[in-house]
Amino acid sequence: MKVFVSGCFDLLHSGHVTFLQEAAKYGNLYVGVGSDKTIEEIKGVKPIYTQEERKYILQSLRCVHKVFINLGIGKMDFIQTVLSIQPDIFYVNEDGAFEEKTQFCKKHNIKMIIHKRMPFHQLPRRSTTQIKQCINDTV
């Protein structure tokens, strides 16, 4: 079974790792990483880590089978990657289950599984935006 996830994965944190581990329970995990250009377009800021650094970090995780840098632009930057991999499952966070992605999965007969964001055990809930704000507050 092939499982696909897509995201920015800048400033990898425990929430990302939990998400990836949960996705990998369904099969071999393929990760599509948003390019530097896509992140800057969507978030309005450059990523802290380059796309190659983020790919390397993700590929080093035991639960990840293979990592790709998505070639598209915008929220649907993963289309070429998905068409190449042909996953059985597209695993997304609650905020990643938007209508255009849902329709894409239906059209390509890919099951979408929506992950509820939950921190691992007693770890604090994290987000990259929150971490960046904490860093800015201490500088």
Spell out the domain ranges in the chain. Answer: 2-138
Is 31 a residue whose pLDDT tops 70? yes
Q: Which of 71, 72, 34 is nearest to 51 (CA)?
A: 34
Q: pLDDT (tens digit, 9 = 90+) per residue, 84-133?
A: 999 999 999 988 899 999 999 999 999 999 998 776 667 666 566 565 56
Structure tokens at 77: 């930057």
pTM of the model: 0.87
* Domain 2-138 belongs in CATH node 3.30.300.30: no
* pLDDT value, residue 120: 61
* pLDDT value, residue 84: 97
Is 136 a residue whose pLDDT tops 70? no
Structure tokens at 135: 């860093």
Q: Which of 128, 105, 127, 119 is nearest to 3 (CA)?
A: 105
Q: pLDDT (tens digit, 9 = 90+) per residue, 39-96?
A: 999 889 899 999 999 999 999 999 999 999 999 999 999 999 999 999 999 999 988 8
* pLDDT value, residue 129: 58
* pLDDT value, residue 59: 98
Question: Is residue 68 within 8 Å of residue 79, measured between CB atoms?
Answer: no
